[in-house]
């Protein structure tokens, strides 16, 4: 299957664009991969991967270890280049962009690494404020933003601690604060719950929900846990009550209700429900094996997907 590759807007020169000018447009795909191939030595890890992540969407990449989930995250951030194919993020072809422009461009993307990847010689506060200091922001504003970001992940008490003093879950939370501190429109979560116990994993998913529903973040999330996908598809963060609430109370599935609420909001001109659809993409042997809204995965009759679902029980 071939896809039409949208033309690049040549007027968008990242080097001459300030971070805040790189804005997302509702309705357009913020992340697009077109026939991406990546191989190492004698093995082709990604074999013609193509998908889009729309504005406001959360796309969950599911797959076993070694299927190339992390690779896709790094491709989307321009940290590695594909052997062939194109990777478009917010309309910019990051697979063609020189590193100098990419460095500037990446300031519009949040990236949560698998193990947190916090700078171990810096305190939590310095880790979270790293990007702001690079932008030479005023110290008072930096402190305010850092406290706000750490309060968001409930880690304000750990300001002066070093990463070595934190548990795995706390490090992940600080990493989320670091990714969200500059309020990027796109956040890439690379296995944020890997190696964590179920309770801490749920806390991390709640934080991702909060980021999505309060900050309107478009996200690409790699995970091998099906529960993460369902957590994101079936719950939303309710700003009024300050709690995570389940969707689907009126008999509709979480996704269907979410879409219905969005349509109603659009029709009536009321404030739209912040919850956006969560779609799942399953990778297998370097290819996309399944791509659909999360609740369709539950009704699958495919043997491989059934095995995948069974592993979550």
Partner 1 sequence: MPEASATSSLTAVLGDVLKRQVAAVQDYTLLTVQAMRCMFSPPYYWLDTLEQMDIVGVGSLPIIIVAGLSIGGVLVLQTAAQFQRFGETALTGDAVSLALVRELGPAVTALLVSGRNASGMASELGSMVVTEQVDAMRALGTDPIRKLMMPRVIATVLMVPLLTVVFDFVGLCGGFLVAYSTLRLGAVQFWTRAINSLDIGDVVQGLTKPVVFGLIIATVGCYCGLRVRGGTQGVGRATTTAVVISSVCALVADFFLSRLLLYLFQ
* Residues near partner 1 (CB under 8 A): 74, 77, 79, 99-100, 102-107, 109, 111, 113-115, 117-120, 130-131, 134, 178
Number of H helices, E strands in the chain: 10, 12
Instruction: Check: CB of residue 111 under 8 Å from CB of residue 178.
Output: no
Say which DSSP state 79 is in: S
Q: Give me the least distance between CB of 79 and partner 1, in Å please.
A: 6
Q: Which of 199, 12, 178 is nearest to 189 (CA)?
A: 178
CA distance 173 to 211: 12
Q: Which of 168, 171, 174 is nearest to 195 (CA)?
A: 168
Query: What is the CB-side half-sphere exposure of residue 50 using CA atoms within 13 A?
Result: 11
Q: Give me the least distance between CB of 106 and partner 1, in Å please.
A: 5
Name the residue nearer to partner 1 (CB basis): 15 or 246. 15
Read off the tokens for 309. 């679902």
Burial class from Cβ neighbours inside 10 Å (0-12, 13-18, 19+) for residue 121 reads exposed
Q: Give me the least distance between CB of 15 and partner 1, in Å please.
A: 13
Name the residue nearer to partner 1 (CB basis): 106 or 145. 106
Query: What is the CB-side half-sphere exposure of residue 82 using CA atoms within 13 A?
Result: 26
Name the residue nearer to partner 1 (CB basis): 124 or 297. 124
Name the residue nearer to partner 1 (CB basis): 77 or 280. 77
Name the residue nearer to partner 1 (CB basis): 223 or 257. 223
Q: Give me the least distance between CB of 113 and partner 1, in Å please.
A: 5
Q: Which helix (H) or strand (E) holds 34?
A: strand 29-40
Q: Give me the least distance between CB of 180 and partner 1, in Å please.
A: 12
Name the residue nearer to partner 1 (CB basis): 19 or 147. 19
Q: Give me the least distance between CB of 302 and partner 1, in Å please.
A: 34
């Amino acid at each position: 299957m071939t896809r039409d590759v949208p033309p690049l807007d040549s007027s968008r020169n990242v080097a001459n664009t300030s971070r805040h000018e790189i804005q997302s447009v509702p309705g357009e795909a913020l992340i697009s991969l077109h026939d991406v191939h990546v191989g190492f030595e004698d093995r082709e890890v990604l074999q013609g991967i193509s998908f889009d992540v729309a504005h406001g969407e959360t796309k969950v990449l599911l797959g076993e270890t070694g299927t190339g989930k992390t690779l896709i995250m790094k491709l989307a951030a321009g940290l590695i280049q594909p052997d062939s194919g194109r990777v478009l993020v917010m309309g910019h072809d990051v697979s063609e962009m020189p590193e100098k422009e990419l460095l500037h461009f990446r300031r519009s993307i949040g990236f949560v690494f698998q193990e947190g990847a916090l700078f171990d010689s810096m305190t939590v506060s310095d880790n979270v404020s790293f990007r702001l200091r690079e932008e030479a922001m005023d110290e008072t504003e930096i402190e305010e933003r850092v406290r706000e970001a750490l309060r968001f992940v409930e880690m304000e008490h750990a300001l002066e601690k070093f990463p070595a003093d934190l548990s795995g879950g706390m490090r992940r939370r600080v990493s989320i604060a670091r990714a969200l501190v500059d309020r990027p429109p796109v956040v890439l979560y690379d296995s944020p719950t890997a190696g964590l116990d179920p309770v801490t994993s749920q806390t991390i998913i709640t934080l991702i929900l909060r980021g999505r529903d309060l900050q309107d973040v478009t996200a690409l999330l790699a995970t091998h846990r099906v529960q993460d996908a369902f957590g994101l598809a079936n719950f939303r963060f309710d700003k009024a009550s300050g709690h995570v609430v389940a969707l689907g109370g009126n008999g509709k599935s979480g996704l269907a209700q979410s879409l219905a609420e969005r349509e109603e909001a659009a029709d009536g001109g009321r404030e739209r429900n912040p919850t956006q659809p969560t779609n799942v993409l399953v990778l297998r042997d370097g290819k996309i094996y399944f791509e659909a809204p999360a609740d369709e995965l539950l009704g699958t009759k495919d043997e491989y997907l059934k095995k995948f679902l069974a592993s979550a029980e």
